[in-house]
Amino acid sequence: MRELAKIFIAVGTQSVGGGASTLFLLRRLLVEQRQLISERAFNEAWALCQLSPGIHLVALAGLLGQRIAGWRGVLVAVSGMMVPAAIITALMTAAYGVIADHPLAEAALAGMAPATGGMTIGLAIVLVRGAKRHGPRAIVDVALVAVAFGILLFTTVSSIMVIVGAAALGALFLGRERPTSPEGATD
Amino acid sequence: MDPLSFFLVLLKDSALGLGGLGSLPMLRQDLVATGLATDAQLVQALAIGRLSTGPSGLWIVSLGYQMAGPAGAAMALVASSLPPLVILPATAVARRWLLSVPFAGLVRGAALATAGLLSATGVSLVVPPGDVPSWWQVLVGILAAALTYQGRLHPAAVIIGGALLGLLLAA
């Protein structure tokens, strides 16, 4: 159990930027170096975590922890990965708060705002690439993306209603192929 | 907003989003549109989430800290950690259903809608409503989208690049 905790704390504190870098480190430590889980079991957990709500890497940590050490493993894996990383995030936020009102920090923010906006758009496109079906059915999928885009930009309809409505539509009409999500878009 | 209501908003939006950024459009509607938080706080949280360690979905912890200090960060941590764990009992009792065609469609529908909502949120961060961004800010947005889609440059480098350009051109 101590070894499992060390691995997930290392993942939480050494992978920067989330997504692919966190996944890479998890795979390297658990599968290649310590061999606590097989490649096949890791891949199966990765596929299953795509079906979870919220942060997929938390679901992955939970599934891997459970597979390796049962329910105690879930607690150790998730808290090991999340708590130290959350403390680092909170400390960084506090540090930024000290300088946030400085003119230079405001200038940096003027560049970070479009960068984060652009990254959000880029991630959304990656998400569409992974979730859309192939062939002519892709047109329906892209149309659904466009409708959700238009609703948020041009109406006051709740985002939650959009998600719930699209999920219901999906259950009825969009289930012909298994969805896949690229690693970088699903952290 | 009282702490319990704040926690429930974070929990609800985390539970209904797919992926680390999935809750962004909903949190923006619930917190920024209602005047409880600002877009600047949201941008700072997203940037710190990318520069910090661990899953980038921890940007919500940064937002929680900005809104309610360490207690807000702790609430955000719990609210973002609990919903994904639904997969554990779900795989134990309904693995076959999770692998069914209707469930695949449900996840696809939610993922596509999330992508549309994220795109719209991204656009409104690059071009804030009622505001006219500079040419270089639009260029930064386009470049950041292209680099993120391509996936070759580390996300932290994109954020740092944007900040440096801001220092050069807006200071």
B3-16 and B59-81 helices, crossing angle to 10°: 80
pLDDT on residue A186 = 46
Confidence grade of residue B126 (pLDDT, cut at 50, 70, 90): very high
**In B1-100, which ranges are continuous DSSP H helix?**
3-16, 24-27, 39-51, 59-81, 87-98
Would you say the pTM of this structure is higher than 0.90? Answer: no
Supply the mean pLDDT for chain A: 88
Shared-domain flag, residues A11 and A91: yes
Per-residue confidence in pLDDT tens, chain A, 187 aa: 889 999 999 999 988 877 777 888 898 899 988 899 998 888 888 888 888 899 999 999 999 999 999 999 999 999 999 999 999 999 999 999 999 899 999 999 999 999 999 999 998 998 899 888 888 889 999 999 999 999 998 998 888 889 899 999 999 988 765 555 544 444 5
Average pLDDT of the residues in B130-144: 92
Interface of B with A in 103-132 (CB under 8 A): 103-126, 128
pLDDT on residue A97 = 92
Shared-domain flag, residues A175 and A128: yes
Average pLDDT of the residues in B76-88: 95
Shared-domain flag, residues A20 and A72: yes
Shared-domain flag, residues A78 and A114: no
| B165, B140 contact by CB (below 8 A) | yes
| Contact partners, residue B34, CB within 8 Å, separation at least 6 | none
Distance CA B111, CA B55 (A): 19
Amino acid, res. A49: C
**Token pair 């708590």 in the structure block, residue:** A83
Shared-domain flag, residues A71 and A90: yes
Interface of A with B in 76-135 (CB under 8 A): 78, 81-86, 88-90, 92-94, 96-97, 100, 103-104, 106-128, 130-133
Distance CA A64, CA A38 (A): 10
| B78, A79 contact by CB (below 8 A) | no
Residue pLDDT, tens place only, B145-168: 999 999 888 888 999 999 999 999
Shared-domain flag, residues A95 and A18: yes
Cβ–Cβ below 8 Å for B144 and A114: yes
Distance CA B44, CA B30 (A): 17
Cβ–Cβ below 8 Å for B105 and A171: yes
Amino acid, res. B63: L
Shared-domain flag, residues A33 and A58: yes
Cβ–Cβ below 8 Å for A147 and B116: yes
Shared-domain flag, residues A94 and A20: yes
Q: How far apart are the first and last CA of chain B?
A: 35
Domain boundary residue, one of A60, A81, A99: A99
* Chain B: residue whose CA lies nearest to A101: B40
Cβ–Cβ below 8 Å for A22 and B54: yes
Cβ–Cβ below 8 Å for B166 and A109: yes
Domain boundary residue, one of A67, A82, A99: A99
Classified as helix, coil or strand, B123 is helix
A44 interface with B at CB cutoff 8 Å: no
Chain B: nearest CA to A38, how far in angstroms? Answer: 19
Write out the two tokens for B40: 């600047």
B165 interface with A at CB cutoff 8 Å: yes
Interface of B with A in 129-148 (CB under 8 A): 133, 137-138, 140-148
Chain B: nearest CA to A58, how far in angstroms? Answer: 6
pLDDT on residue A183 = 43
Whole-angstrom Cα Rg for chain B: 17
Task: Look at chain A and report how many structural domains it folds into.
Answer: 2
Per-residue DSSP letters for A142-182?
Answer: HHHHHHHHHHHHH----HHHHHHHHHHHHHHHS-SS-----
pLDDT on residue A18 = 74
pLDDT on residue A94 = 96
Range of the domain at A151: 103-185
A9 interface with B at CB cutoff 8 Å: no
Chain B: nearest CA to A70, how far in angstroms? Answer: 11
Residue pLDDT, tens place only, A132-185: 888 888 999 999 999 999 999 899 888 888 989 999 999 998 876 555 554 444
Amino acid, res. B30: D
The closest CB to that of A121, out of B101, B119, B133, belongs to B119
What one-character DSSP code corresponds to residue B56?
G
Name which of B12, B118, B136 to mutate to probe chain A: the one with the most chain A Cβ atoms within 10 A of its Cβ: B118
Each domain of chain B, given as residue ranges in start order, spans: 3-132
